[in-house]
Structure 1
């Protein structure tokens, strides 16, 4: 077609007459170039090319035209075919789609080659046990695995049941204790030892009272005395298993001075502040592994408030490093929400001082006054929680405040007390009970 109105003339039926014109190339700072603004596929349909006109401005287009300094003018279609490298413009893409500028096949995943009929995977491409299917050019993955190369874990964190955790590297559930299987849903137990009964539904063993553990193969220790009887001799933290603490309670045991006893209070020269409120005395404070602590009223109540088990308490005080005094009182226990003291009698420690004279009285702190004196707060005055009948009855508060010199200022022989201990232990002949 003559002029600059069009770059392609549709001749009768199959004859396409195209023209090279000239225009500024915006990608070369406006240098004038020969141009045929057709995509690759359409250029290859030209049957003849002739000279076109001149554009002084570059029209807006949605594609990049064909710019050259050496245009072709001919009526021979085979010259056009070779000039534009039209071999690929008649491709049939087997596993992909045809792109017309430039003419080529865009292959689907896993496929390659000029017409996308070559599998790009090899037998080594499939990992984690996957096998290559050459017909479909896909990896057939083993269970748990997915993805083009079987390198993606098909499981999620929710796939693991009964507390199992997903190891994303191995794509496997790591099961806990008694569970097994791909998703930790299979019970790994088959029997229970020492007379335990097995429940397949819950995958649990119900153990007789003297046994514990997953299959009832571990000896149950109810208190420090049980550990001592089993041969333990270290003064350290142990885990005991009582009817109130079937999952275990950590306590510090004395295996040397009063073997088999549970330490419920330990104080050394004021290193830990005992001026505390009700909730802290209830739950306990300090660290069992460190020097000073209070085990906690609620724990002591749960341990001792069983009428079938009798406990005794030992009070020990030390003056400097030379003199130590202690005594044991029987039938000790705490009861009720106010941790009422029950104990057989009291002990005179000299100089008018008395231990545990407030039998039948609840525990008191500065923020919960349960003492027998309606006008005063004994715990607030002595700076520590304790059991009081009255503030002037001579009751020694072993949780009172230390002086700046590290001395517990209480009326007791010997004076100059710098360390105190309270320990409890099953009375001779007493037995612990446990109901699963």
Structure 2
């Protein structure tokens, strides 16, 4: 028997998958500890269930994921709208160093990924989803680029990439704290006098707490209009660029870069048009749904034959991150307490996601004291500015080996 779900029913299932995953992550401590995203938990379980039902000839479920690209483009657009270059001035020299280091590690991660793919006689393009897309890109990035690669004929790219991203997320949470604890003990690092005066709970409220989204209907409409405008123009320009140059530029990438441009124009002319809390909320919702749709529709059978390349790539990526962050980055940032805390954040989002970075820094600062600089710089780079560097690097790799 075949059960076909139309696009609306598939979207409904994606919402239910997210709610199920959110329930499990709150109830199962290990999932909460490593900040495993709710769509990953719910989506993988549903994918397993669909595989079992199909293999046992009970029912074959076919999902219509036509709307997945819409949610994906919307998410990347909100990322672009969050990337104000005024933030670079706020973070100063350390933010620029940290930001550029994220670009360097992105290049190295792709080198590792492509090398592993070639070692196991896989298409070099698998190196993208074993590299930056999965590590610094996390589940959102690898879903976007994995989908693009599959459309280019690289079968299994999404499934393998999602597996790599999941393992990377766990690894980032496991090694970040211990490495920084070692640095603090080895160099006897202490927080600055000013940071000692900062109450951690108050600081969290200022820099992390989203609070309630306070926006009028007009503000919500204005912000949504900006988002949809960037999506429309960006996807159109992306298609034109690809046709004119032969250089693959997916629509969601074009939308993101148009959004970066529009955000910085708005900052200079009419900042009240864009409500950043609404933009953030739209981004969180669209990410949750497009991830849920992607995870629940993957073919898990494609992972089973590529477990060894994933394991080898992950071991090398973790080793690369540990060495780069604890030696090169630590020294570039000043070899002090603030730089050690930023190392924890760098490992967190360099192997997983920004929430992982924040969790790593929390675990250390709760024991040793606050780092004002780290909690300012890491979220800015990890959540927004990093995409400005990683997207061209990933696209260049795809076009180099396509």
Q: TM-score, normalised on structure 2?
A: 0.20
More helix by share: 2
* Structure 1 or 2: more strand by fraction: 1
Larger radius of gyration: 1
Higher RCO (CA < 8 A, seq sep 6+): 2
